[in-house]
Amino acid sequence: MLEYACYALVLFSLGMYVVLDGYDLGVGMLSLAARPERRREYGEIVATAWDANESWIILVGVVLWAGLPGVYAVVVPGVYLPLVVMLFSVILRGLGLEMQSAAGGYRRGWALLFGGASLAATVCQGLVLGAVLTGPHQRNGTFHGAALDWFSPYSVLCALGLVAVYLLAGAAWLQDKTESPSRTGVRRTGRSLLLVTAVMAVVLGLGLPSADPQQPHLGQPVRAVLFWLAVAAAVAAGAVAWSGFGRRPDWRPFAAVATMTGCGLAGLAVLTLPVVVPPGLSVHQAAAPHSSQLFLVLGVGLCMPFVLAYNIYAWRSFRGKYADPVESPLPPLPTRARSPMAAPSAAGPLRTVARRVLLVMLGIVATALSQDVFGGVSPVIGPIGVTVLGCTVLAAWITGDRRDRRAGYFDADTEAESVS
Protein backbone atom coordinates (compact mmCIF):
# COMPACT_ATOMS: atom_id res chain seq x y z
CA MET A 1 0.00 0.00 0.00
CA LEU A 2 2.87 2.38 0.75
CA GLU A 3 4.17 2.07 -2.81
CA TYR A 4 0.91 3.54 -4.07
CA ALA A 5 1.26 6.37 -1.54
CA CYS A 6 4.73 7.09 -2.96
CA TYR A 7 3.33 7.01 -6.49
CA ALA A 8 0.52 9.36 -5.43
CA LEU A 9 3.13 11.78 -4.07
CA VAL A 10 4.96 11.62 -7.41
CA LEU A 11 1.77 12.32 -9.36
CA PHE A 12 0.73 15.18 -7.05
CA SER A 13 4.16 16.82 -7.15
CA LEU A 14 4.39 16.35 -10.91
CA GLY A 15 0.95 17.85 -11.40
CA MET A 16 1.82 20.85 -9.23
CA TYR A 17 5.04 21.36 -11.18
CA VAL A 18 3.36 21.17 -14.58
CA VAL A 19 0.64 23.62 -13.51
CA LEU A 20 2.86 26.10 -11.66
CA ASP A 21 6.22 26.00 -13.39
CA GLY A 22 4.36 25.39 -16.64
CA TYR A 23 2.86 28.87 -16.62
CA ASP A 24 6.16 30.64 -15.94
CA LEU A 25 7.91 28.57 -18.62
CA GLY A 26 5.05 29.56 -20.92
CA VAL A 27 5.44 33.22 -20.02
CA GLY A 28 9.15 32.93 -20.79
CA MET A 29 8.43 31.46 -24.22
CA LEU A 30 5.78 34.09 -24.91
CA SER A 31 8.31 36.80 -24.08
CA LEU A 32 10.30 35.79 -27.18
CA ALA A 33 7.45 37.07 -29.37
CA ALA A 34 6.58 40.07 -27.18
CA ARG A 35 7.61 43.66 -27.74
CA PRO A 36 10.82 44.71 -25.96
CA GLU A 37 8.96 46.96 -23.54
CA ARG A 38 6.83 44.00 -22.45
CA ARG A 39 9.65 41.49 -21.91
CA ARG A 40 10.83 43.03 -18.67
CA GLU A 41 7.27 43.05 -17.38
CA TYR A 42 6.91 39.34 -18.18
CA GLY A 43 10.13 38.60 -16.31
CA GLU A 44 9.05 40.53 -13.24
CA ILE A 45 5.74 38.65 -13.17
CA VAL A 46 7.56 35.31 -13.23
CA ALA A 47 10.15 36.43 -10.65
CA THR A 48 7.54 36.55 -7.89
CA ALA A 49 7.29 32.76 -7.46
CA TRP A 50 9.39 30.87 -10.00
CA ASP A 51 11.73 29.40 -7.36
CA ALA A 52 8.78 28.06 -5.35
CA ASN A 53 7.26 26.58 -8.49
CA GLU A 54 10.43 24.67 -9.31
CA SER A 55 10.53 23.17 -5.80
CA TRP A 56 7.96 20.63 -6.91
CA ILE A 57 10.27 19.01 -9.46
CA ILE A 58 12.77 18.48 -6.63
CA LEU A 59 10.12 16.63 -4.66
CA VAL A 60 9.40 14.49 -7.74
CA GLY A 61 13.07 13.54 -8.00
CA VAL A 62 13.39 12.79 -4.27
CA VAL A 63 10.32 10.54 -4.19
CA LEU A 64 11.38 8.65 -7.31
CA TRP A 65 14.93 8.19 -6.07
CA ALA A 66 14.05 7.02 -2.56
CA GLY A 67 10.56 5.55 -2.99
CA LEU A 68 10.61 4.10 -6.51
CA PRO A 69 14.30 3.45 -7.28
CA GLY A 70 13.39 1.02 -10.04
CA VAL A 71 12.10 3.94 -12.10
CA TYR A 72 15.45 5.70 -11.67
CA ALA A 73 17.37 2.62 -12.76
CA VAL A 74 15.40 2.31 -16.00
CA VAL A 75 14.49 5.87 -17.00
CA VAL A 76 17.40 8.11 -16.01
CA PRO A 77 20.16 6.30 -17.94
CA GLY A 78 17.99 6.42 -21.05
CA VAL A 79 17.38 10.18 -20.94
CA TYR A 80 20.71 11.52 -19.72
CA LEU A 81 21.19 13.98 -22.56
CA PRO A 82 17.78 15.76 -22.42
CA LEU A 83 17.93 15.77 -18.61
CA VAL A 84 21.36 17.42 -18.55
CA VAL A 85 20.28 19.98 -21.15
CA MET A 86 17.14 20.68 -19.12
CA LEU A 87 19.18 21.28 -15.97
CA PHE A 88 21.51 23.67 -17.76
CA SER A 89 18.49 25.44 -19.25
CA VAL A 90 16.91 25.86 -15.83
CA ILE A 91 20.17 27.36 -14.50
CA LEU A 92 20.54 29.73 -17.44
CA ARG A 93 16.87 30.66 -17.22
CA GLY A 94 17.24 31.67 -13.59
CA LEU A 95 20.41 33.59 -14.42
CA GLY A 96 18.70 35.54 -17.19
CA LEU A 97 15.67 36.25 -15.02
CA GLU A 98 17.61 37.49 -12.00
CA MET A 99 20.09 39.54 -14.01
CA GLN A 100 17.30 41.16 -15.99
CA SER A 101 15.45 41.98 -12.78
CA ALA A 102 18.58 43.47 -11.19
CA ALA A 103 19.53 45.49 -14.28
CA GLY A 104 17.02 48.23 -13.52
CA GLY A 105 15.90 48.40 -17.15
CA TYR A 106 15.42 46.30 -20.26
CA ARG A 107 18.44 44.25 -21.30
CA ARG A 108 17.90 42.38 -24.56
CA GLY A 109 20.51 39.69 -23.94
CA TRP A 110 19.20 38.66 -20.52
CA ALA A 111 15.59 38.74 -21.75
CA LEU A 112 16.41 36.49 -24.72
CA LEU A 113 18.36 34.13 -22.46
CA PHE A 114 15.33 33.84 -20.18
CA GLY A 115 12.97 33.11 -23.08
CA GLY A 116 15.31 30.77 -24.97
CA ALA A 117 16.18 28.74 -21.88
CA SER A 118 12.46 28.42 -21.06
CA LEU A 119 11.86 26.97 -24.53
CA ALA A 120 14.82 24.58 -24.24
CA ALA A 121 13.71 23.33 -20.81
CA THR A 122 10.17 22.70 -22.07
CA VAL A 123 11.34 20.79 -25.15
CA CYS A 124 13.63 18.61 -23.04
CA GLN A 125 10.81 17.81 -20.61
CA GLY A 126 8.61 16.79 -23.53
CA LEU A 127 11.34 14.53 -24.92
CA VAL A 128 11.72 12.84 -21.53
CA LEU A 129 7.96 12.33 -21.29
CA GLY A 130 7.88 10.81 -24.77
CA ALA A 131 10.79 8.50 -23.92
CA VAL A 132 8.96 7.24 -20.83
CA LEU A 133 5.66 6.68 -22.66
CA THR A 134 7.32 4.76 -25.50
CA GLY A 135 9.01 2.43 -23.03
CA PRO A 136 12.79 2.42 -22.45
CA HIS A 137 14.57 -0.81 -23.36
CA GLN A 138 15.00 -2.63 -20.07
CA ARG A 139 16.20 -5.99 -18.84
CA ASN A 140 16.05 -7.26 -15.26
CA GLY A 141 15.20 -3.80 -13.95
CA THR A 142 18.02 -1.91 -15.68
CA PHE A 143 18.29 0.13 -18.88
CA HIS A 144 19.71 -1.74 -21.90
CA GLY A 145 19.04 0.66 -24.75
CA ALA A 146 21.06 3.04 -26.86
CA ALA A 147 22.07 6.59 -25.97
CA LEU A 148 19.59 8.16 -28.42
CA ASP A 149 16.57 5.93 -27.78
CA TRP A 150 14.79 8.92 -26.27
CA PHE A 151 14.58 10.55 -29.71
CA SER A 152 11.58 9.25 -31.64
CA PRO A 153 8.67 10.72 -33.63
CA TYR A 154 6.35 10.30 -30.67
CA SER A 155 8.75 12.00 -28.24
CA VAL A 156 9.03 14.94 -30.66
CA LEU A 157 5.23 15.15 -30.71
CA CYS A 158 5.23 15.08 -26.90
CA ALA A 159 7.70 17.97 -26.87
CA LEU A 160 5.50 20.00 -29.22
CA GLY A 161 2.42 19.17 -27.16
CA LEU A 162 4.08 20.24 -23.92
CA VAL A 163 5.19 23.51 -25.53
CA ALA A 164 1.56 24.13 -26.50
CA VAL A 165 0.31 23.35 -22.97
CA TYR A 166 2.85 25.66 -21.33
CA LEU A 167 2.16 28.46 -23.81
CA LEU A 168 -1.54 28.15 -23.07
CA ALA A 169 -0.92 28.30 -19.31
CA GLY A 170 1.36 31.30 -19.78
CA ALA A 171 -1.24 33.16 -21.84
CA ALA A 172 -3.91 32.48 -19.21
CA TRP A 173 -1.58 33.69 -16.44
CA LEU A 174 -0.74 36.88 -18.32
CA GLN A 175 -4.42 37.70 -18.70
CA ASP A 176 -4.77 37.43 -14.92
CA LYS A 177 -1.65 39.44 -14.04
CA THR A 178 -1.39 42.18 -16.70
CA GLU A 179 -3.50 45.05 -17.94
CA SER A 180 -3.66 44.04 -21.57
CA PRO A 181 -4.09 46.89 -24.05
CA SER A 182 -6.36 44.76 -26.24
CA ARG A 183 -8.94 42.28 -25.02
CA THR A 184 -9.42 41.16 -28.61
CA GLY A 185 -5.74 40.25 -28.90
CA VAL A 186 -5.85 38.31 -25.63
CA ARG A 187 -8.92 36.40 -26.78
CA ARG A 188 -7.38 35.59 -30.15
CA THR A 189 -4.06 34.40 -28.70
CA GLY A 190 -5.63 32.33 -25.92
CA ARG A 191 -8.18 30.64 -28.12
CA SER A 192 -5.60 29.88 -30.81
CA LEU A 193 -3.34 28.22 -28.26
CA LEU A 194 -6.31 26.33 -26.83
CA LEU A 195 -7.13 24.92 -30.26
CA VAL A 196 -3.50 23.90 -30.84
CA THR A 197 -3.41 22.21 -27.43
CA ALA A 198 -6.62 20.32 -28.12
CA VAL A 199 -5.34 19.12 -31.50
CA MET A 200 -2.05 17.97 -29.99
CA ALA A 201 -3.92 16.14 -27.20
CA VAL A 202 -6.01 14.25 -29.75
CA VAL A 203 -2.97 13.40 -31.88
CA LEU A 204 -0.97 12.18 -28.89
CA GLY A 205 -3.93 10.20 -27.57
CA LEU A 206 -4.52 8.45 -30.88
CA GLY A 207 -0.82 7.75 -31.31
CA LEU A 208 -0.29 6.36 -27.80
CA PRO A 209 -1.53 2.79 -28.52
CA SER A 210 0.97 2.38 -31.36
CA ALA A 211 3.84 4.07 -29.50
CA ASP A 212 3.33 2.50 -26.07
CA PRO A 213 4.50 -1.15 -25.91
CA GLN A 214 2.18 -1.63 -22.94
CA GLN A 215 -0.83 -1.30 -25.28
CA PRO A 216 -3.19 0.46 -22.85
CA HIS A 217 -6.81 -0.51 -23.16
CA LEU A 218 -10.09 0.35 -21.48
CA GLY A 219 -11.47 -3.15 -21.05
CA GLN A 220 -11.94 -2.81 -17.31
CA PRO A 221 -15.16 -0.96 -16.39
CA VAL A 222 -13.70 0.99 -13.48
CA ARG A 223 -10.69 2.08 -15.54
CA ALA A 224 -12.92 3.11 -18.43
CA VAL A 225 -15.30 5.12 -16.23
CA LEU A 226 -12.47 6.98 -14.50
CA PHE A 227 -10.72 7.72 -17.79
CA TRP A 228 -13.80 9.10 -19.53
CA LEU A 229 -14.69 11.15 -16.45
CA ALA A 230 -11.24 12.74 -16.65
CA VAL A 231 -11.74 13.40 -20.37
CA ALA A 232 -15.18 14.93 -19.77
CA ALA A 233 -13.82 17.18 -17.02
CA ALA A 234 -10.96 18.29 -19.28
CA VAL A 235 -13.39 19.12 -22.10
CA ALA A 236 -15.62 21.10 -19.73
CA ALA A 237 -12.60 23.01 -18.42
CA GLY A 238 -11.53 23.71 -22.00
CA ALA A 239 -14.95 25.20 -22.71
CA VAL A 240 -14.63 27.44 -19.66
CA ALA A 241 -11.17 28.57 -20.79
CA TRP A 242 -12.49 29.28 -24.31
CA SER A 243 -15.23 31.54 -23.01
CA GLY A 244 -12.95 33.15 -20.40
CA PHE A 245 -10.17 34.41 -22.66
CA GLY A 246 -10.60 38.14 -23.18
CA ARG A 247 -13.38 38.39 -20.60
CA ARG A 248 -13.62 39.06 -16.91
CA PRO A 249 -12.97 37.68 -14.35
CA ASP A 250 -9.39 37.42 -15.55
CA TRP A 251 -8.48 34.47 -13.31
CA ARG A 252 -11.00 32.12 -14.92
CA PRO A 253 -8.88 30.98 -17.93
CA PHE A 254 -5.92 30.02 -15.75
CA ALA A 255 -8.10 28.06 -13.34
CA ALA A 256 -9.63 26.22 -16.30
CA VAL A 257 -6.25 25.48 -17.87
CA ALA A 258 -4.93 24.16 -14.54
CA THR A 259 -7.99 21.88 -14.31
CA MET A 260 -7.39 20.64 -17.85
CA THR A 261 -3.77 19.82 -17.04
CA GLY A 262 -4.69 17.96 -13.86
CA CYS A 263 -7.37 15.95 -15.64
CA GLY A 264 -4.94 15.02 -18.42
CA LEU A 265 -2.37 13.75 -15.95
CA ALA A 266 -5.05 11.82 -14.02
CA GLY A 267 -6.34 10.23 -17.22
CA LEU A 268 -2.82 9.14 -18.19
CA ALA A 269 -2.29 7.59 -14.76
CA VAL A 270 -5.60 5.72 -15.00
CA LEU A 271 -4.57 4.27 -18.36
CA THR A 272 -1.22 2.97 -17.15
CA LEU A 273 -1.63 1.87 -13.51
CA PRO A 274 -0.15 -0.25 -11.99
CA VAL A 275 2.59 0.07 -14.64
CA VAL A 276 4.81 3.13 -14.10
CA VAL A 277 7.33 2.53 -16.90
CA PRO A 278 6.16 0.62 -19.98
CA PRO A 279 6.07 -2.09 -20.98
CA GLY A 280 5.94 -3.88 -17.63
CA LEU A 281 7.67 -2.13 -14.72
CA SER A 282 4.94 -1.94 -12.10
CA VAL A 283 4.71 0.05 -8.90
CA HIS A 284 5.45 -3.07 -6.84
CA GLN A 285 8.58 -3.93 -8.84
CA ALA A 286 9.97 -0.39 -8.73
CA ALA A 287 9.27 0.23 -5.03
CA ALA A 288 11.93 0.56 -2.34
CA PRO A 289 11.86 -1.49 0.91
CA HIS A 290 8.96 -0.85 3.25
CA SER A 291 11.07 1.09 5.79
CA SER A 292 12.35 3.48 3.12
CA GLN A 293 8.85 4.07 1.82
CA LEU A 294 7.54 4.83 5.31
CA PHE A 295 10.35 7.28 6.00
CA LEU A 296 9.79 8.93 2.61
CA VAL A 297 6.02 9.27 2.92
CA LEU A 298 6.34 10.91 6.33
CA GLY A 299 9.29 13.11 5.37
CA VAL A 300 7.94 14.37 2.05
CA GLY A 301 4.44 14.54 3.48
CA LEU A 302 5.71 16.94 6.14
CA CYS A 303 7.58 19.04 3.56
CA MET A 304 4.67 19.47 1.16
CA PRO A 305 2.58 21.75 3.42
CA PHE A 306 5.55 24.12 3.71
CA VAL A 307 6.02 24.26 -0.07
CA LEU A 308 2.28 24.84 -0.51
CA ALA A 309 2.39 27.56 2.13
CA TYR A 310 5.25 29.22 0.24
CA ASN A 311 3.22 29.16 -2.98
CA ILE A 312 0.10 30.50 -1.29
CA TYR A 313 2.07 33.25 0.45
CA ALA A 314 3.66 34.33 -2.85
CA TRP A 315 0.29 34.34 -4.64
CA ARG A 316 -1.31 36.37 -1.86
CA SER A 317 1.58 38.82 -1.61
CA PHE A 318 1.62 39.49 -5.37
CA ARG A 319 -2.08 39.18 -6.07
CA GLY A 320 -3.72 41.58 -8.48
CA LYS A 321 -2.35 43.18 -11.61
CA TYR A 322 1.35 43.80 -12.07
CA ALA A 323 2.46 47.39 -11.64
CA ASP A 324 5.96 48.63 -12.37
CA PRO A 325 7.39 49.51 -8.95
CA VAL A 326 8.59 53.06 -8.38
CA GLU A 327 12.02 53.15 -6.80
CA SER A 328 12.17 55.24 -3.64
CA PRO A 329 14.90 55.65 -1.03
CA LEU A 330 14.62 53.43 2.00
CA PRO A 331 13.70 55.14 5.27
CA PRO A 332 16.35 55.23 8.00
CA LEU A 333 16.41 52.19 10.22
CA PRO A 334 14.87 52.73 13.66
CA THR A 335 17.35 52.90 16.52
CA ARG A 336 16.72 51.87 20.06
CA ALA A 337 18.31 53.66 22.97
CA ARG A 338 20.05 51.38 25.39
CA SER A 339 21.20 52.25 28.88
CA PRO A 340 24.49 50.94 30.22
CA MET A 341 22.59 48.82 32.75
CA ALA A 342 20.78 46.99 29.93
CA ALA A 343 23.97 45.85 28.18
CA PRO A 344 24.13 42.08 27.73
CA SER A 345 26.40 40.20 30.06
CA ALA A 346 29.32 38.10 28.87
CA ALA A 347 27.55 34.94 30.02
CA GLY A 348 24.71 35.47 27.52
CA PRO A 349 26.58 34.34 24.37
CA LEU A 350 28.06 31.38 26.29
CA ARG A 351 24.59 30.21 27.29
CA THR A 352 23.47 30.55 23.66
CA VAL A 353 26.40 28.45 22.40
CA ALA A 354 25.83 25.78 25.06
CA ARG A 355 22.12 25.57 24.31
CA ARG A 356 22.72 25.24 20.57
CA VAL A 357 25.31 22.51 21.07
CA LEU A 358 22.78 20.61 23.18
CA LEU A 359 20.08 21.05 20.55
CA VAL A 360 22.41 19.80 17.81
CA MET A 361 23.18 16.72 19.91
CA LEU A 362 19.45 16.12 20.37
CA GLY A 363 19.00 16.41 16.61
CA ILE A 364 21.71 13.81 16.04
CA VAL A 365 20.01 11.49 18.54
CA ALA A 366 16.69 11.99 16.75
CA THR A 367 18.31 11.10 13.43
CA ALA A 368 19.91 7.97 14.86
CA LEU A 369 16.65 6.87 16.46
CA SER A 370 14.74 7.47 13.22
CA GLN A 371 17.21 5.27 11.33
CA ASP A 372 16.67 2.49 13.85
CA VAL A 373 12.89 2.88 13.83
CA PHE A 374 12.40 3.00 10.08
CA GLY A 375 15.03 0.30 9.58
CA GLY A 376 13.12 -2.04 11.87
CA VAL A 377 15.95 -2.34 14.43
CA SER A 378 14.70 -0.65 17.59
CA PRO A 379 11.10 -0.54 18.91
CA VAL A 380 12.01 1.96 21.65
CA ILE A 381 10.49 5.00 19.93
CA GLY A 382 8.02 5.13 17.07
CA PRO A 383 7.75 7.44 14.05
CA ILE A 384 5.41 9.76 15.94
CA GLY A 385 7.91 10.07 18.77
CA VAL A 386 10.72 10.92 16.36
CA THR A 387 8.55 13.60 14.74
CA VAL A 388 7.60 15.09 18.12
CA LEU A 389 11.23 15.11 19.24
CA GLY A 390 12.40 16.84 16.05
CA CYS A 391 9.64 19.47 16.27
CA THR A 392 10.48 20.07 19.94
CA VAL A 393 14.14 20.67 19.10
CA LEU A 394 13.18 23.12 16.34
CA ALA A 395 10.71 24.94 18.60
CA ALA A 396 13.32 25.23 21.36
CA TRP A 397 15.86 26.68 18.94
CA ILE A 398 13.42 29.30 17.62
CA THR A 399 12.20 30.22 21.10
CA GLY A 400 15.75 30.65 22.36
CA ASP A 401 16.73 32.87 19.45
CA ARG A 402 13.70 35.07 20.01
CA ARG A 403 14.49 35.40 23.71
CA ASP A 404 18.10 36.33 22.93
CA ARG A 405 16.92 38.88 20.37
CA ARG A 406 14.67 40.53 22.95
CA ALA A 407 17.54 40.52 25.44
CA GLY A 408 19.77 42.31 22.94
CA TYR A 409 22.45 39.66 22.42
CA PHE A 410 22.21 39.96 18.65
CA ASP A 411 22.72 43.71 18.86
CA ALA A 412 25.98 43.51 20.80
CA ASP A 413 28.26 43.06 17.77
CA THR A 414 26.46 45.79 15.82
CA GLU A 415 26.79 48.28 18.66
CA ALA A 416 30.47 47.43 19.08
CA GLU A 417 31.11 48.06 15.39
CA SER A 418 29.23 51.37 15.47
CA VAL A 419 31.23 52.54 18.47
CA SER A 420 34.52 51.60 16.88
Question: Which residue ranges make up each domain of the chain?
Answer: 2-317, 345-419
pLDDT of amino acid 134: 84
Choosing among 1.10.287.130, 1.10.3720.10, 1.20.1630.10, 1.10.1660.10, the CATH entry for 2-317 is: 1.20.1630.10
pLDDT-derived band of residue 415, with 50, 70 and 90 as boundaries? Answer: very low
pLDDT-derived band of residue 42, with 50, 70 and 90 as boundaries? Answer: confident
Q: Longest C-alpha distance within the chain, in Å?
A: 83
pLDDT-derived band of residue 419, with 50, 70 and 90 as boundaries? Answer: very low
pLDDT-derived band of residue 232, with 50, 70 and 90 as boundaries? Answer: very high
pLDDT-derived band of residue 326, with 50, 70 and 90 as boundaries? Answer: very low
Please give the residue that has the higher pLDDT: either 321 or 215.
321
Does the pTM surpass 0.85? The reply is no
